[in-house]
Amino acid sequence: MGKTREIKKRIKAVGNIKRITRTMQMIATAKFSAALQRAVAGRPYADAIFDLVAEMASSSSEVSHPLLATGDPDGQTLTLVITSDRGLCGPYNGSVLRTALKHFREQAGSTEGRIEVIGKKGANALRFNGVEPTVHHTHFTDKPVYEHVEKLAQEYIDLFTSGKVSKVNIVSMKFISAGRQQPEVVQLLPFEAPEKQEATPGSKSDYEFSPSAGELLGELLPAAVKVTLFQAFNDAVVSEHVARMVAMKAATDNAGKMGKDLTRVYNRARQAQLTTELTEIISGAAALE
């Protein structure tokens, strides 16, 4: 009797867990849909302004800007690690933190520079691994506000142009599709145009700038830096929600499977118990004859 009662308690507990994980899955799905719309809506603008600045920077060798200048190789670096405040999102935080720790090991002196973290999970994990964050940003939520990200990006621009930091890197999760997210390290400053294939003879375009290319870059480069950082925030939020959605779906499926297994065990235990009781009754009746 005690065994069946214990199994029934476990079945009830597993059922409660299943309801909780299913609810969390539904919430994560709704948040993922909203975050995906924001990320997809902003990506064309981010890609367009990045390509435009890269084209302008590579089209003229005479163009110079403080954000294009290479800093002191021995100068202090700044690394921003973007993680989540909450767990239960599968390998999301672990993947970002492994990438960050690998970056710190490979880049000499990076742990001696400024290390800024977004998310409680990242801050706690870095401290556990002996890396003390310089700044822990706590005002960013799962709905990034452009004004807050713009303020942070402007702070990085000011630190870079003043020479206090020589490089700014972002470690975050890049959202590629609902089935694929990839942790990456992106150099935010100094701005680097992507390497392009060598043009065929006669295919190179000449540009005339009005106003001058320097004036245009003075406006577009800071905007490109801010948009790139904002897109990194959006990608991180979308990746977190899709990882939590997948993790909660797996937990719900596992709870359902465990509930079925426990029900089968309960039925067998109950059948054995009934058989034992019937045997005792028959044996008692036979003894009275």
Q: How many whole angstroms from its chain centre is CA 17?
A: 25
Q: Are 166 and 73 in contact (CB under 8 A)?
A: yes
Question: Using an 8 Å Cβ cutoff, are 99 and 184 in contact?
Answer: yes
**pTM of the entire structure?**
0.84
Q: Give the CA count within 13 Å in the CB-facing half-sphere of 267.
A: 6
- pLDDT bucket at 94, cuts 50 / 70 / 90: very high
Where does the pLDDT of residue 136 fall: very low under 50, low under 70, confident under 90, or very high at 90 and above? very high
Lowest mean pLDDT across 5-14, 115-124, 239-248, 266-275: 266-275
- Ordered by where they begin, the domains of the chain are 2-20+248-276 (1.10.287), 24-192+210-246 (3.40.1380.10)
CB 158 within 8 A of CB 150: no
In the structure, what pLDDT confidence band is assigned to residue 197 with cuts at 50, 70 and 90? very low
Per residue in 150-191, pLDDT (tens digit) is: 999 999 999 998 888 989 999 999 999 888 999 999 999 888
Instruction: Note the pLDDT tens digit of each residue in 43-58.
Output: 888 888 877 787 776 6
